[in-house]
């Protein structure tokens, strides 16, 4: 099965996605993590992607779609985090699923107000280990040991695009290009909306529980 995480940058797609992967045994495919890894390894794809990522813009659809398809082709159960991000990507994924006999079970949309996104993303720290990729927040969700990942112990880093100016640009890109996917997946009858209150200290547990209930209802349908 395929589960898609939808939501603005910093809405918690990675954190909730990790919980869902643990619960359902899904492979976590995070396009941002794949791009960051390509940038670190200075590949041609990485060099191209970094031109867009550093400005808070989306990497062009043709590059992103073929990268994702080659990553998921051989895997049955996938959680997509950060893909699709445009209508064109969603259309391409629909065709890919039809041709490869894959089923999108649910699209989990995390709703967070813009002002909360800027607040939360400014204090986000992430795990650079590509097998892990967990996110923490020095204010809202600190790791158990300061500066170290709870899941794998790697030294946490701040993403260069998690600065207020780039975050505002990424939010604009989200509203212009990604938000239309909410209507797209509503029409496909796959959308599950979850409102997030970042000031609730149990937000992660509550959101995970709600997402699992909704996915289970659809799996059992």
- Interaction site with ligand AMP (CB under 6 A): 9, 31-32, 35, 52-53, 56-59, 64, 82-85, 89, 170
The residues, ordered by sequence, that sit 6+ positions from 84 with a Cβ below 8 Å of its Cβ are 4, 90, 92, 93, 181
**Which of the following is catalytic: 48, 55, 85, 187?**
85
Of 8 and 190, nearer to ligand AMP (C-beta) is 8
Residue 33 C-beta: closest distance to ligand AMP, Å: 6
Judge whether 218 counts as a catalytic residue.
Answer: no
For residues 193 and 211, give the distance between their C-alpha atoms in angstroms, rounded to a whole number: 9
What are the distances in angstroms from CA 123 to CA 39, 136, 161, 167?
A: 23, 9, 12, 12
Of 175 and 209, nearer to ligand AMP (C-beta) is 175
Residue 127 C-beta: closest distance to ligand AMP, Å: 12
**Which of the following is catalytic: 158, 170, 172, 186?**
170
Judge whether 151 counts as a catalytic residue.
Answer: no
Judge whether 159 counts as a catalytic residue.
Answer: yes
Judge whether 103 counts as a catalytic residue.
Answer: no
Residue 85 C-beta: closest distance to ligand AMP, Å: 4
């Amino acid at each position: 099965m395929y589960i898609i995480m939808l939501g603005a940058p910093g809405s918690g797609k990675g954190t909730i996605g990790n919980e869902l992967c643990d619960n359902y045994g899904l492979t976590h495919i995070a396009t941002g993590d794949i791009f960051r890894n390509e940038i670190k390894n200075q590949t041609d794809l990485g060099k191209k992607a970094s031109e867009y990522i550093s400005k808070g813009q989306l990497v062009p659809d043709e590059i992103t779609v073929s990268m994702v398809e080659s990553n998921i082709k051989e895997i049955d159960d996938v959680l997509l985090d950060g893909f699709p991000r445009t209508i064109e990507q969603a259309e391409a994924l629909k065709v890919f699923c039809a041709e490869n006999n894959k089923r999108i079970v649910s699209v989990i949309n995390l709703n967070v107000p813009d002002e909360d996104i800027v607040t939360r993303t400014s204090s986000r720290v992430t795990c650079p280990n590509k097998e892990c990729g967990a996110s923490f927040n020095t204010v809202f969700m600190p790791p158990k040991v300061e500066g170290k990942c709870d899941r794998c112990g790697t030294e946490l880093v701040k993403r260069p695009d998690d600065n207020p100016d780039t975050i505002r640009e990424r939010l604009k890109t989200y509203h212009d290009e990604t938000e239309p996917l909410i209507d797209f997946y509503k029409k496909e009858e796959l959308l599950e909306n979850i409102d997030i209150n970042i000031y609730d200290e149990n937000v992660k547990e509550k959101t995970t529980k709600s997402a699992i209930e909704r996915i289970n209802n659809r799996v059992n349908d």
